[in-house]
Structure 1
Amino acid sequence: MIRHIVVFRLKHPKGSAAEKKFLADATLLASIPGVGAFEQLRQVSPKNDYHFGFSMEFTDQQAYSGYNDHPDHVAFVRDRWVPEVEAFLEIDYVPLA
């Protein structure tokens, strides 16, 4: 299993219509084959300046690669992520045991 987590800060003002639209439109990622346990998360700690996170799980590397290469993911990254995300950190975990 691979747990894919990305934390990020949008260029849009907090609470704006553009912020809400980005988050709503990002739910399409959950419908890409291989994506499991998709969650959108809001940061509540003052310890970092990322405001949101997406978390999802993949059964294996093949499922994760399929997601990365899927046309809907590629289009979302190109058309929404790159122009609207100010900063991000991507983390991919596998269980230790």
Structure 2
Amino acid sequence: MGQTSIHHMVIFSLKHAMGSEEAEAFMRDVESQLTMIPVVKQFHAFRLKPNNPLDYGISMVFDSEEDYQTYVTHPLHDDFEDNRWKIEATQGMVIDYEI
């Protein structure tokens, strides 16, 4: 069996109206900042279909648990969480799984 990868998904809504310039700026910024963390692979930012209770999502893959922990403790992650996420996100759910 091959190496296990860690898949990380966050599903969320923002205080901004879906599709607004503020929401779109948040989504651009989350991608530009988190993809600067070297261990982040296969990053995707997306809108959820209207039949979902939340509006947006991001997903990424890590090659190992060590890489995932590097991401979680990285200064760019901490900065985005403290200065954007905690201010602009209204609801969220984190889904982590291994493949």
Give the alignment partner of residue 37 of structure 1, picking from 35, 39, 42. 42
Give the alignment partner of residue 24 of structure 1, picking from 20, 23, 28. 28
Give the alignment partner of residue 87 of structure 2, picking from 54, 60, 83. 83
What's the Cα RMSD here?
0.9
What amino acid is aligned across from residue 36 of structure 1 in structure 2? K
Alignment correspondent of 2:70: 66
Q: What is the TM-score when the length of structure 1 is the normalising length?
A: 0.92
Alignment correspondent of 1:55: 59
Mean Cα displacement is larger for which, 11-20 or 65-74? 11-20
Question: Which ranges of 4 or more aligned residues in structure 1 deviate by more than 3 Å?
Answer: none
Q: Distance in 2 between matches of 1:40 and 1:25?
A: 10
Deviations 1:16-69 (A, max 9, x none): 2211111111111012011000000111151x2111110000000110000010
Unaligned runs of 5+ in 2: none
Q: How many residues align?
A: 94
Q: What is the TM-score when the length of structure 2 is the normalising length?
A: 0.91
Q: Distance in 2 between matches of 1:34 and 1:2?
A: 11
SS in 2 for 1:18: helix
Q: Distance in 2 between matches of 1:7 and 1:87?
A: 8
Alignment correspondent of 2:96: 92
